Amino acid sequence: MAGTRRESAAPGPPYGGLRFGLRTGVAAWVLRRFPTPRRTPFTLAFLGVLVATTLFSRLADPGLVGHLQALSSTDGHNLLRHPLRALVLSGFWVAGPVWMPYLWAFVLAAAPLERRVGAARAAGVFAAGHVLATLLSQGVVAAAVRTGRLGPDALDRLDIGISYGVLATLGALAVLLPPVGRLLVLGGVGLLVADQVVADRDLVTGVGHPAALVLGVLLGYLLRRRSRPPRRAGGSRPAAGPEPTGRPRGRAVLDRV
C-alpha cells in the first residue's frame, strides 16, 4: 500500500549461516558420529590409555619398556603364574612397529558400537574378545608344545596388543549395521584376517584373530536380539495405546477381524 514503510529485517547473529550449515548435511552427520566424552566415554578413556602407553614405549628406555611388556604378556608361563595381571595389562599396549592403524581401527570400531549399545556393553565386547581369544590361542599353543609340535620357547613369546578386542568389536558392530554395511565390513575384515593368517603363519594370531572376529559376531547377534522391542503374543505389532474418548469402538473390532 502507498504511504507505508517497510521495516528492514533485523540482522541475524554473526556467523548464523555457518552455524546452520554445521547442523545440517554432511557436517551434521560427521559431528553426530565424532567421539565425545558424553557419547563415547569408554572409547575416549581407553584411547587415552593406548596413546599414553604407545608414547611411553617409543620414548622411554627400551630395557624398561621390554621389562614392562614382558610382565604384561599373555604367554603361557605368565598365564599360569599371573593370569589376571597378564590378561588386563596385555590389552593396554599396541603391538608392532606400525601402531597408528591399530589406534584408528579401535576408534572406528569402538565409537560406533558404543553409540549403539552403550559404554558398558561396548567395553564388555572388547574385553570378551581380548580375554577369550587370548585363552583359546594360548591353549592351542600349550597343546602344541605338549604334543611336541612346538618347542618350549613358544610359551615365552611376547603376546600383547589390542587386536583381539578390536576384531571382536568390529564383528559386533557389523551385525548391528544394515545388510549392505554388514557384508562390506565382515567381508573386508575377513579378507584382512585371512591374508594375515596366510602371510604370518603364526599359530597365536592364526587362532586368535579368527576366533575374536567370530566371537564378536556372536555377541553382536546377542546385542541385537536384546535391543529388539518385545512382541505381543498374537502378532508382531507393539501394544496400542488407549483409544481416544468419543471414538466408536465397533469399527475397531471389525478391523481386527
pLDDT by residue (tens digit) across 212-235? Answer: 999 999 999 999 987 665 555 555
d(CA 110, CA 137): 23
Taking only the tens place, the pLDDT of each residue in 50-92 is 999 999 999 999 999 999 999 999 999 999 999 999 999 999 9
Looking at residue 100, what is its pLDDT?
72
Cell of 207: 587362532
Specify whether the backbone of 176 is left (phi greater than 0), alpha (psi in -120 to 50) or beta: alpha
Looking at residue 98, what is its pLDDT?
67
**pLDDT band of 250, cuts 50, 70, 90:** very low
Q: Cα 129 to chain center, whole Å? A: 10
Q: Using DSSP, state whether 232 is helix, strand or coil.
A: strand
Q: Using DSSP, state whether 189 is helix, strand or coil.
A: helix
pLDDT beyond 80 at 11? no
pLDDT beyond 60 at 149? yes
Mean per-residue pLDDT of the chain: 82
d(CA 155, CA 201): 17
pLDDT beyond 60 at 112? yes
pLDDT beyond 80 at 196? yes
Looking at residue 253, what is its pLDDT?
38
d(CA 97, CA 108): 20
- pLDDT over 70 percentage in the chain: 73
Q: Using DSSP, state whether 235 is helix, strand or coil.
A: strand
Looking at residue 238, what is its pLDDT?
54
pLDDT beyond 60 at 42? yes
Whether the model pTM is above 0.75: yes
Looking at residue 152, what is its pLDDT?
93
Q: Does residue 175 contact residue 228 with C-beta atoms inside 8 Å?
A: no
**pLDDT band of 15, cuts 50, 70, 90:** very low
Alpha helices in the chain (DSSP H): 16-22, 25-33, 41-59, 62-72, 76-81, 83-89, 100-117, 119-146, 163-176, 179-200, 203-227, 250-256
